[in-house]
């Protein structure tokens, strides 16, 4: 555990770097922006509680990868018809979970279509830390989780089961993620050492076909981190996000000099060209290596939670439509 004194040392080291950069005479150095760190942002209202857990680690000087894992675990455990426990099932009544995590070294782990395990993000973390692989799915992911000591739990709550039974009455298969319907937390963070990480976890599209996997566990779609540039995460209709490799696209746009805001806007504009764009919701959230934040969505209604040294707040996001 890093003590507060060390943490303050890290902060002042960051400030010293900034002031040295600012004192330099070349134009580009004179324009260098100060770094905001640590900082954590995450999607939707459930980001408030999640960020609090992440912030606890970040403010003690902890690693961003530990912060994002701890943060999204909070949402996974909440019984809210969304993300993990209590999430809405697929059309066969099965709760199937997708998650991924990526650290400052470009290491990553993911699980998809995992059932009966409350914390898919921690299984994804172990795929990253303990196996030579990046992604495990379905039965194999469950077997791995059980071998790692996770316990099988019923994740289908009475409330979610009732909602599914209501849906079954018509059983209309119109899988869509619009403005009212969201079930994912994507979180990206920059720690006091200036390292970036991210996590993304979901119960996915409600009443989807069994076996359907969205963007959330796919590195480059629902999440991407490049410690030299920035980190991005996504929420909304996964199929649309996968088609443009959303999170990777945003990080690459940042590498080319776009701010996180410009990068998110450009990625949304690409999705706006897809044929069903008017009917779906997409939200992107990104931070740069300097801790600048950007977010943009296709439809109104997307928001995110932000914690940094200044504040802990929700922010509404502007949209394409």
In terms of CB distance, is 193 or 239 closer to ligand SD4? 239
Q: Whole-angstrom Cα distance, residue 246 to residue 284?
A: 8
Give the binding range for ligand SD4 (CB under 6 A) out of 71-79, 143-151, 182-190, 303-311.
Answer: 182-190
As beta bridge partners, residue 316 has 303
For position 47 contacting ligand SD4 by CB under 6 A, the verdict is no
Smallest gap from residue 261 Cβ to ligand SD4 (A):
20
In terms of CB distance, is 43 or 59 closer to ligand SD4? 43
Report the candidate in 304, 305, 259 with the shortest Cα–Cα distance to residue 317: 304
In terms of CB distance, is 145 or 285 closer to ligand SD4? 285
As beta bridge partners, residue 184 has 202
Following CA atoms 260, 262, 267, 270 in sequence, which dihedral angle do they give, to the nearest 10 degrees?
180
Active site residue 233: no
Of 182, 245, 291, 307, the one binding ligand SD4 (CB under 6 A) is 182
Choosing from 36, 43, 75, 184, which is the catalytic residue?
A: 184
H-state helical runs in 132-245: 138-147, 158-170, 238-243
In our burial notation (b when 16+ CB lie closer than 10 A, e otherwise), range 304-319 reads: bbbbbeeeeeeeebeb
Report the candidate in 102, 34, 98 with the shortest Cα–Cα distance to residue 68: 102
Residues 208-247: x/- map of binding to ligand SD4 (CB under 6 A)? ------xxx------------------xxxx---------
Pull the structure tokens for residue 184. 């994912």
Catalytically annotated residues = 184
The site for ligand SD4 (CB under 6 A) is made up of 177, 182-184, 202, 204-205, 214-216, 235-238
């Amino acid at each position: 555990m890093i003590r507060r004194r060390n943490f303050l040392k890290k902060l002042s080291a960051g400030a010293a770097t900034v002031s040295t950069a600012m004192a330099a005479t070349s134009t580009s150095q004179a324009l260098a922006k100060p770094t905001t760190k640590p900082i954590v942002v995450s999607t939707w209202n459930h980001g408030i509680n999640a960020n609090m857990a992440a912030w606890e680690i970040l403010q003690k000087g902890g690693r961003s990868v530990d912060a994002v894992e701890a943060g999204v675990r909070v949402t996974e455990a909440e019984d809210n018809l969304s993300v993990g426990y209590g999430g809405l099932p697929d059309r066969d009544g099965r709760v199937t979970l997708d998650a991924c995590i990526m650290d400052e070294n470009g290491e990553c782990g993911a699980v998809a279509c995992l059932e009966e395990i409350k914390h898919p993000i921690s299984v994804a973390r172990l795929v990253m830390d303990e196996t030579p692989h990046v992604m495990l799915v379905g039965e194999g992911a469950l077997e791995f989780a059980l071998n790692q000591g996770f316990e099988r739990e019923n994740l289908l709550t009475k409330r979610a089961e009732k909602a599914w039974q209501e849906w079954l009455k018509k059983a209309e298969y119109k899988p869509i993620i619009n403005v009212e319907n969201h079930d994912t937390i994507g979180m990206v963070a920059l720690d006091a050492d200036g390292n970036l990480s991210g996590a993304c976890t979901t119960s996915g599209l409600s009443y989807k076909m069994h076996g359907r996997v969205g963007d959330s566990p796919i590195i480059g779609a629902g999440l991407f981190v490049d410690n030299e540039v920035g980190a991005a995460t996504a929420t909304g209709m996964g199929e649309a996000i996968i088609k443009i490799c959303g999170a990777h696209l945003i990080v690459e746009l940042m590498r080319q000099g776009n701010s996180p805001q410009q990068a998110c806007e450009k990625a949304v504009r690409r999705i706006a060209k897809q044929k069903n764009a008017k009917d779906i919701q997409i939200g992107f959230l990104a931070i740069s290596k300097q801790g600048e934040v950007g977010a943009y969505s296709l439809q109104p209604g997307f928001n995110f939670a932000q914690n940094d040294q200044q504040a802990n707040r929700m922010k509404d996001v502007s949209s394409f439509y």
